[in-house]
Structure 1
């Protein structure tokens, strides 16, 4: 990391553009194929891989390897403790033992580790400082992604205590999940401007076309997010690709970007985010040379 921007091992700025895939619930298995291939066809340069602590190191290695084979920066997140602060130490336990670590040592030049999905508590700052310290002491050197509390939504918290976490360890990315009741252009613009003014290294780790609560009653202006992210050089990952169907809002504007997990199956907001909007993945994603060729030359 340099300031609020992530650079790859060759010193090239890497602005994340891609999506999430619920790899653990794919009917085809948990190695990410052929889903990663389909995501890569949009021009994406990154994929956030939903994982669980109980899965094997060998399976995680295969999923990461498959993402890299499709020229996607792999971001592995553990989903066991979503909304459950008391389970954060168990996630760190996993990352510091071989069950999770095989992937981070083998692929550390290209990998990002999202410690846990939406782990939330008033003790967020102290808890994550401890988690970072434990993981670094275990030899984990990759950039660490840290979700905001309140189901990932609390960007005010990131702005308030994010600088202290960055001072504790500059090789981190703060991630906000924009499941906001107020998903207006004004709210998105205000919060992104404030975060950039603080020079915070952050990404939008999850978003769709409306909130997760009461669904379509609370639309999210994803087109403003796409445009502001280009202007401010903010990375983002849409939720989610859809080869493994989301249960949330299934009868009221599904979060799935696709109907069948293929690029041909992109519909509605997913098609806009991936292909047709002027600021879509297709039109703004750049793959670092290190990911594209495996070399800095």
Structure 2
């Protein structure tokens, strides 16, 4: 699908993460039987949002807001210069660091290949390989947190018959240079694969390399439930890992059936990543999820994707276990501490009542980005007593403490009920 944007469309929606220990631990993500597994061998379903970093390098704090929206994955747009900017190794390392700080899996994608063969400014998958080699120092060693999306929409509607050989060659070139990451490969035809080139040749690619995830972008081509289901079933029925790398609720080439995309990926355990957090232009501003990178100002699409039926909040994606510590912990991935002194929760599921306060490791924790995190939640318990600033104020563990010459309540304790 063609993109008429000053900042291209790349909707990669990250889906539920259902940890299910299924295979041995590996240095990073891996693929087996059409499923994605994290480094601890737990099943991982990417669910999240695309972020147009290369056009908005000063908006890296959007990753915290994307995590707070419920995502477990962010797809980050990188460039080698086609759009006027080029992310070098130090910048890519900073992006990965921000992903780790927010417990997000980073799917890093190279956007300069968009529409190759039809758009004269697009670069080839071979050029994409050279870009990844230029930032190798930033991504090698971080396989636990990073997947590499070799090239965004690597063929337009011309010359797409070369997709299979070009994709296999790019994968083999990266492997020969020491990249062991899970590799994500986009479909041709501006990502929508209306020609079924990726669908029909995916087994050949998977036979050439077993650690590959296929990514389709669903816009106007997928305007009926049957088209959505049939395409995705063609992969899952053959044990091939597929995600919906981009989609929206509207587009210039037709009206995508976003309801089926969201419900079917959820029911089938297929990853999805929506385009995009903010910053779209040239007539597709309706694909912004928030206005002006303001997480407090959701658009209609953002409301639908985040809070609607089968949206991120309903799916409650689980973070990769390298962050949550189940079944293994990873040094240096402590979720951090909220401004009120409480640790951040490793998963939003620790907060079943949705008030921003959870319970992990026998103490209260704060859901990142919630009212409890931003200071907008009342600091007084329902019984009228103030909350204790620290559980150490309650040495006997009955939920009642003593601070500033008066009683206080430990949040989440029996006294707080």
TM-score (norm 1): 0.90
Matched, 1:291 2:328: no
Give me the whole-angstrom Cα distance separating, in 2, the residues matched to 1:146 and 1:63. Answer: 21
1:225-250 CA distance string (max 9 Å, x none): 111011111101000011x2343423
Which residue pairs with 1:131 in the alignment?
170
Cα gap change, 1:275/1:292 in structure 2, threshold over 3 Å: closer, same or farther? farther
Is the aligned partner of 1:78 residue 2:110? yes
Higher relative contact order (CA 8 A, sep 6+): 1
The structure 1 segments of at least 4 consecutive aligned residues displaced by more than 4 Å after TM superposition are: none
How far 1:294 moved relative to its partner? 9.3
Distance 1:135 1:226 in 2: 32
Contact 1:46 1:75 in 2 (8 A): yes
TM-score by length of 2: 0.65
C-alpha separation in 2, matches of 1:129 and 1:24? 26
Q: Report the count of equivalent residues.
A: 283
Unaligned runs of 5+ in 2: 1-30, 81-85, 118-122, 330-417
Unaligned runs of 5+ in 1: none
**Distance in 1 between residues matched to 2:138 and 2:232, nearest whole Å:** 32
Contact conserved, 1:19 with 1:48, CA < 8 A, in 2? yes
- Greater CA drift, 182-191 or 55-64: 182-191
Report the counterpart of residue 149 of structure 1 in structure 2: 188
Aligned: 1:189 with 2:216: no
Q: Structure 1 CA distance, aligned partners of 2:190 and 2:131?
A: 21
Contact 2:139–2:146 (Cα < 8 Å) also in 1: yes
Call closer, same or farther: CA 1:5–1:182 in 2, change over 3 Å. Answer: closer
State the 1:76 CA deviation: 0.5
Would you say the 8 A contact 2:105–2:320 is kept in 1? no
After TM superposition, give the deviation of residue 219 of structure 1 in Å: 1.4
The answer to whether the aligner puts 1:102 opposite 2:142 as a matched pair is: no
Deviation at 1:293, TM superposition (A): 4.5
Higher helix share: 1
Matching residue of 1:225: 261
* Structure 2 residue matching 1:209: 3-state secondary structure: coil
Query: How is 1:1-297 mapped onto 2 (pairs within 5 angstroms)?
Result: 1-26=31-56, 29=58, 33-53=60-80, 54-85=86-117, 87-96=124-133, 99-120=134-155, 121-154=160-193, 156-213=196-253, 218-242=254-278, 244-250=279-285, 254-277=286-309, 279-284=310-315, 285-293=317-325, 296-297=328-329
Output the CA distance in 1 between the equivalents of 2:127 and 2:181. 19
Report if aligned partners of 1:248, 1:255 keep a CA contact under 8 Å in 2.
no
CA RMSD of aligned residues (A): 1.8
Q: 1:293 to 1:81 in 2, by over 3 A?
A: same
For residues 238-290 of structure 1, give each alpha carbon's deviation from its aligned partner in whole angstroms, at most 9, with x where no partner exists.
00011x2343423xxx111111323322221221211232x211221111221
My pick for the range that moved more, 179-188 or 154-163, is 179-188
3-state DSSP class of the match of 2:37?
coil
Per-residue CA deviation, residues 6-60 of structure 1 (Å, 9 max, x unaligned), is 000001111011010000111x62xx52100110111100000000123211011
Contact 1:41/1:263 (CA < 8 Å) preserved in 2?
A: no
2:288 and 2:301 in contact (8 A); partners too = no
Work out the CA distance in 2 between the residues paired with 1:183 and 1:141: 36
